[in-house]
Amino acid sequence: MIYLDHNATSPVRPEAKAAVLRALEVGGNPSSVHAAGRAARSLIETARGQVASLVGVVPGSVTFTSGGTESNALAIESAVAAGHDRIILGATEHGAVSENARAAGVPVAVWPVDANGVADLDWLAAELARGGRPLVCLMLANNETGVIQPVAEASALVREAGGWLHVDAVQAAGKIAIDFTALGADTLALAAHKIGGPFGSGALVAGTRATLVRRLHGGGQERGRRAGAENLSGIAGFGAAAVAAARDLPVIASQAVWRDSLQARVEEAGAVILGKAAARLPQTLGFAAQGFDAQMQVMGMDLAGIAVSAGPACSSGKMKPSDVVAAMGRADLAPFAVRISGGWNTTEHDWSRAGDAWLELYARHTSRRKEVA
């Protein structure tokens, strides 16, 4: 199997697996004061520092969670609890952000994007001028198209308006360098499994302007921000993956050439490249071929031994037309959009073989359509 679905989850890195196994051997509760407990606590604090380094913050800024969804929910609920009375929601946000925003009990305005999926800053400026204390949600990079959003530019507008900026960086981490301070975010969400760490571990990074509220009550873990015994092995694996992801950023960047080669091949065959004119993650290619059902593409590629996806992989295996593509003004292409995404163990051959397989599938599809016609 050639695995080209790293944006859904990246296979566990050897460093992360080793860290998980070492943590499982410790055996102590991180809240206990005996030697085993102190050893467990040391692993968590080491990982906290490793995750903090990935985004350029001090360790105390990092609160460990169960994953990106909980991190996004914690940020949104914290902002609303702090008195932010409305939400400005990017039109292409992941469901982990959009669903929690709509459940927050305050008005939500949807922030449009242009034809390349880039958030409209002029619209944002006009919306912020309406007043209030807005929470603004803008992802750093889109999971389906790889489009990188103008977060730093948006931050300047949000801060001037007295708002709170939350950034879902789950998809961007480990693919591009992230400087939390330069972005100007108040909170930022991360997930271990997107960078080659284990499932079930994530983090919320909070700046000095953000005060977090507890969603889970009980003990005083995570400096009182999140109750419950920490996922020791998952956190240890997260930390190790963060170190490896930072180290491998040049490896990921080099895939842009391979991605662009495949892009040219499918475009020549008639596919539309999603977000083509925007800055994108170097290892992500989203495209659509009119009339070629996304589910059939995914199934056909799977039969050819290549794992790709259509839309976000968070609906229990269900596929539906892409809301992201529709938000970009191409609802006509939404049922036909697929994504190919590389990662830490992807090779040039993987990208090339994916192109061969897709072009073979598309040729068969077009031949059948001609026969029917």
Tokens standing for 237? 């694996």
CA distances from 327 to 100, 180, 188, 281, 323 (A): 19, 27, 23, 19, 6
First to last CA, the chain: 35
Classified as helix, coil or strand, 172 is coil
SS (H, E, C) 226-272: CCCCCCHHHHHHHHHHHHHHHHCHHHHHCHHHHHHHHHHHHHHCCCE
Which candidate in 314, 319, 326, 359 is catalytic?
314
Can you tell me which residue has the tokens 């400005």? 88
* Rounded Cα gap, residues 250 and 344, in angstroms: 10
Amino acid identity, residue 108?
A: V
Show the beta-strand stretches assigned E in the chain: 2-3, 62-65, 86-90, 108-111, 134-137, 164-168, 187-191, 202-206, 272-273, 284-288, 306-307, 337-341
* Rounded Cα gap, residues 141 and 16, in angstroms: 24
In the residue annotation, 137 being an active-site residue is answered as no
Would you name the residues annotated as active-site residues? 314
